Structure 1
Amino acid sequence: MSMKALAKKLIAVMKDCGYVMKKGENKYHGYTYATSADVLEKVNAAFVQYRIASAAVPELLRLDDITTAKGNIEKLATVRMDIQLTDIESGETIQITGLGSGQDAGDKAVMKAQTAAIKYAYLLSFAISTGDDPEADCHTDEITAALEEKTGHRHQMQSVLNRTRQPTRQPVCSVCGTVITEKVLQFSKDKYGRALCMDCQRSAKGIA
């Protein structure tokens, strides 16, 4: 099936949504970010203009109890968001996917994960820039240093064993060397600026 009509419209969406200004502010850690509301507002406006319908279907991948650095128990949810885009004029469809995680002491972990997942589905699928540079994220570097100090010798030994046993072409956690999937790799790079397995992501959350 030809996708020319929808592809042409998606190019127009990418042109209109090339950049989203960072209006959100995390006062605790002292950084700004592009909010999900700002991303959705801009993308949805373009969808309406070019007559593209969207339908989002979330899937809860994981819901774990984690212990924070202060000893509190919180929920950490990981959600996959599949979004079907339909050109209502040609009937052509395409699906895009995003992964997101959310942590909360109450009942909002899943909602936070869904919000992050749909935000990153649009950011990655339409190559939307927010001015973020993972390599310049000092907070991530601090988390990584603390994580490596915390995990210590056990992760060093596991890293050697995993890299010996596994093919070098497979993505691995940059801290412990555990083989990870491409989806986990993409999510961890978006969230932490480097490849982390699910266990190291949870440890990083606790340290943060």
Structure 2
Amino acid sequence: MSETVKVTENPKIYAAIAGVIADCGVVGKDKVNKQQGFKYRSVDDVFNALHPALAKNKVVIIPTVIERRCEEVGKTKNGTSILKVICKVKYDICAEDGSHVTSIIYGEGMDMGDKATNKAMAIAYKYLCFQVFCIPTEEMSDPDAESLEGELAGAQKKEEKKVSAKAEDKKSQPEPSAEPKENDKITPVMLTTIQKEQTRTGVTDKQILSMHDVKAKKIEDMTVLEYKKVMNKFQKTSDLKREAGLNE
């Protein structure tokens, strides 16, 4: 939003702004955000690029905060409030003859201390300068290059891919084994359990296979039903007692 105010019959402000545009160069992204790793242009970069051009063309920028809104948007792990501030700032861009143009810019900033307002004003000033003085920024994004529908469709496709990937992952995982039936062979876990009990009691394979309830020729060929009967005997068997009654 901008408003032009005519002060003299031949205001110098327009020629002065054109002079600033001609004298100001590109402002590159030389700073790096340490937390998130992206590059950005600081307000100091804009000041440094504009200062010589403003001074040469005798242009002064005067800010006035028209409106300020502040809200708490969250807390840190330590309980410190995170504040979000939105400032509506009016900028009078003045020439040496008193003529000026006025531009109103919104700035938004967040901080865990008392700098949220400063950040909001710095952002407002930075983008005022970019737009009023047409400062080249190498790769400033163009809204026409983006499509909200496309972004939503892209987000939906990403979500669908995630769901599909989860489904495929679930398919690739083996189904949990069902409870073995009594006539099935014992599982590796059951075999290990028997071996542990043999170590505890000293009972041999021969003693186990000689039980009248065991028909298997080898321990690993025992059925689940035979396993249960053998384990029942083990429960009654003391440690390292070979005469445990397993030959009954």
TM-score under structure 1 length normalisation? 0.58
Match of 2:246 in 1: none
Structure with larger Rg: 2
1:124 aligns to what?
A: 131
Q: What does 1:38-57 align with in structure 2 at a 5 Å threshold?
A: 38-57=45-64
| Structure 2: distance between partners of 1:68 and 1:121 | 31
Q: Extract structure 1 runs of 4+ deviating beyond 6 A.
A: 68-72
Cα distance in 1 between the residues matched to 2:118 and 2:13: 30
- Determine helix, strand or coil for the equivalent of 1:111: helix
Bigger proportion of residues as helix = 1
- Structure 1 partner of 2:94: 86
Please, what is the CA RMSD of the aligned residues? Answer: 3.2
Q: Deviations over 1:137-193 (max 9, x none)?
A: 9xxx7xx95xxx9xxxxxxxxxxxxxxxxxxxxxxxxxxxxxxxxxxxxxxxxxxxx
C-alpha separation between the residues in 1 aligned to 2:15 and 2:65? 27
How many matched pairs? Answer: 142
Q: 1:9 aligns with which of 11, 16, 23?
A: 16
Shift of 1:35: 0.8
- CA distance in 2 between partners of 1:131 and 1:16 (Å): 17
Q: Contact 2:76–2:82 at 8 Å: present in 1 too?
A: no
Overall identity of the aligned pairs, in %: 25
Corresponding residue for residue 66 of structure 1: 73
Give SS of 1:112's match: helix
Contact 2:25 2:135 in 1 (8 A): yes
**In structure 1, distance between residues paired with 2:140 and 2:62:** 30
Post-superposition shift, 1:58? 2.1
1:76 Cα deviation from its structure 2 partner: 0.2
Alpha-carbon offset, residue 96 of structure 1: 2.2
Deviations 1:1-32, CA, capped at 9 Å, x for gaps: 44552211111111222421222111222211
Please tell me whether the aligned partners of residues 81 and 121 of structure 1 are also in contact (alpha carbons under 8 angstroms). no
**Higher RCO structure, 1 or 2 (CA under 8 Å, sep 6+):** 1
Q: What TM-score, normalized by structure 2, do the two folds share?
A: 0.49
Of 81, 85, 96, the residue aligned with 1:77 is: 85
- Measure, in 2, the Cα distance between the counterparts of 1:95 and 1:62: 22
Could you tell me which residue of structure 2 aligns to residue 206 of structure 1? none
Kindly provide the amino acid, as one letter, of the partner of residue 91 in structure 1. G
